[in-house]
Amino acid sequence: MQFKGFRPVRMGDGSYSLPSCENAVIVNSGTITEGDAIKLAAWLDAADAITDPVDGFALGFLVKAGQFNLPLVSVSGNSTYVDGTFTSATTGDTYVAAADNQTDKMISAVYITSDDLILSAYLDATAGTTTGSDLPGYRLDILTTDSTQLDESTAAGTSSATTINDYMTLAGLSGASSLDPADPSGRRVIVKIVDSTVLA
């Protein structure tokens, strides 16, 4: 899983045995990209507001899960199965659902739940541009224009009245750095979900 967005790394207890994947039908006209933070209500949608609950992270797409179980990438050009817009990209495939996705093609996103999950997260700016975004124990919000990224400028030591700070940085490269040791870009940090709005 080398797409740009959130990448599952391990569990909070140190285990590398990750939860099994789930799937849910994407909301009508919804846009999901691999690596997105997602929320679930009646349907699956991007968790792209700082007040959104975070229920998991998108890893791929299926056509009519439980019936066809076809990977979307393998049938994306076939109008029998797909009527939304599928875009393949090395940074993460994207699917824009049709206005009737919930009742017609029923394209689902495959996701991993967020409960106790440790992640490598991509920042919208170089870590450390804002004090604390590269240090363990700081909190960050989702980038509201792109739910595959965290807003580096929101780094804060504690939650405040004006921001939710769903994600907390953890030790990564060292005990004094949250940089992802597996990524040399300076834009990825190790995080976990911490805010009480999380439903998973």
User: Rounded to two decimals, what is the model's pTM?
Assistant: 0.91
12, 50, 52, 119, 192 from 164: Cα distances, Å: 21, 6, 9, 18, 14
Domain total in the chain:
2
State which of 92, 113, 134 marks the end of a domain.
113
User: Which domain, by its residues, includes 73?
Assistant: 19-113
Tell me the pLDDT tens digit for each residue of 22-75. Answer: 999 999 999 999 999 999 989 999 999 988 889 999 999 999 888 888 899 999
In a domain, residue 198? The reply is no
Q: Report the pLDDT value the prediction gives residue 194, as an integer from 0 to 100.
A: 85
Q: Report the pLDDT value the prediction gives residue 159, as an integer from 0 to 100.
A: 53
In a domain, residue 8? The reply is no
Q: Report the pLDDT value the prediction gives residue 1, as an integer from 0 to 100.
A: 55
In a domain, residue 77? The reply is yes
The dihedral of CA 88, 89, 91, 96: what is its sign? negative
140 and 86, same domain (yes or no):
no
